[in-house]
Amino acid sequence: MFEKVLIANRGEIALRVIRSCRERGLRTVAVHSEIDADALHTRLADEAICIGPAEAARSYLHIPAIIAAAEITGADAVHPGYGFLSENPEFAETCAQCDLVFIGPTPEQMRQWGDKVSARALAKSLGLPILEGTELLTDVDDAVKKAESLGFPVLLKASGGGGGKGMQVLRSAEDVQASFETARAECLAAFGNDALYFERFLERPRHIEFQILGDKYGNIQVLGERECSIQRRHQKVLEEAPSVALTDQQRTDMSETIRRAMSKAGYLSAGTLEFLVDDRGELTFLEMNPRIQVEHPVTELIMGVDLVAEQIRIAEGEALEVRDQPLAPRGHAIECRINAEDPDTFAPSPGVITELHMAGGTGVRIDSGIYGGGRVPPHYDPLVAKIIVHAPTRAQAIAKMQRALSETIIGGIRTNIALHQRILQHPAFEEGRISTRFLDDLRG
């Protein structure tokens, strides 16, 4: 059993981990940059250590400073949250070398799934359905040849990163020639890796992901799926669970396929397998994220499982609490990501929170790292809160979310609450007729 856990992150996910640790009787250590000295996660943890200036590369991404903080405070384990170092195998290895337990998958698994071309090959070998694509592209001439062989349009993607960096839809050989080197330079700057590949481009797919947990005894639990099709520039905006696009038989069949595949792979801890769904309803593997996801609360609410607590239990060497039987979703959950940004232009809106009232009531959950008088700095992701609701039906969940958004007040900064209200009121969303192009269509 651990006694003290250091959280190598900030904001709402740091608070989320602190809460699960507290409920398990564990003490917590928060790390923070200089600008985050008064952040809520530093105030609610048992201890807080400054690890550097505001720039993430010199604080939240600075491995020596985080390891030093763990050693100074006598932490037993490190939880990375999501983003920052959560998928960095060198960080996990450094933790092990310093007798710290990394609460997550093994470094080898991070490497296996972190490179998207390798992940596609691994997923195919494990029996998962794969979207047509190519191997790594060597140069622009090779790219043109492989794009023509695959068939236009194609999606150019980074093998060693995500978040839409370097990703482009190319509809002709001329597009490939014009975009290839620019995309390669962007990926090198963002990830230190300029490797690119093609996937077949789907015009209006749905984006659906399955949550898994695995322990060191070979048990794999699949905890249903999440609908993540509402996106802007490949960044998720609103998520819900379960998806209205899947039949019960599809859900059962894919869950069993995933369980067999990840059991064969020996996967450890929490992870998410992402899929695209074409207009025929067929699911094809997109990528695997070996960490906790931003949208994990919708799964927690419909499945009744504390995913962070399960991560901790698995890292402590315990077996999964629920195993050997499928879990059925109960009701419907929706999550709205509240960002500090203009709802129309999406321009960032950092500043001081001058007024704050968060929604409440039955079936409403708020995961947030802000407070009245607190500062939203310009240096990090604009996510300031997640509003999550749970109700017996999807229609009731939509109504509950509309009510929750209407009573949420965040003063001093602009937020995207108005965008969420437009999404929820749109007939296509209400009817479940959505795709990854939904926001493009909404904006005309």
Q: Read out DSSP for 130-169?
A: B--B-S---SHHHHHHHHHHH-SSEEEEESS--TTTT-EE
Q: At what angle are helices 107-114 and 116-125 packed, to 10 degrees? A: 100
The two structure tokens encoding residue 364: 């409403």
Give the sign of the dihedral formed by CA 88, CA 93, CA 95, CA 96. positive
Specify the pairing of strand 383-391 against strand 364-368.
Answer: antiparallel
> Which DSSP state fits 318?
P
For 321-336, b where at least 16 C-beta lie within 10 A, e where not — what string?
ebeeeebebebbbbbb
What is the rounded distance in angstroms from the CA atom of residue 56 to the CA atom of residue 384?
A: 17
Which tokens is 163 given?
């978040």
Phi, psi of 56 (to 5 degrees): -60, -35
- Strand arrangement, sheet containing 77-79: 47-52, 27-33, 4-7, 77-79, 101-102
Distance CA 81, CA 293 (A): 8
291 among known catalytic residues? yes
Contact 370, 362 (CB under 8 A): no
Q: How do beta strands 77-79 and 101-102 pair?
A: parallel
Coil/strand/helix, residue 346: coil
What residues pair up with 101 in beta bridges, in sequence order? 77
Catalytic residue among 10, 16, 27, 291: 291
Length of the chain: 444
Peptide bond into 290 cis (omega under 30): no
Residues 6+ apart with CB under 8 A from 211: 222, 223, 224, 225, 226, 270, 271, 272, 293, 296, 299, 307
Cβ pair 342, 349 in contact under 8 A:
yes
Contact present, 90 and 114 (Cβ < 8 Å): no
Would you please indicate which residues are annotated as catalytic (active-site) residues? Answer: 291
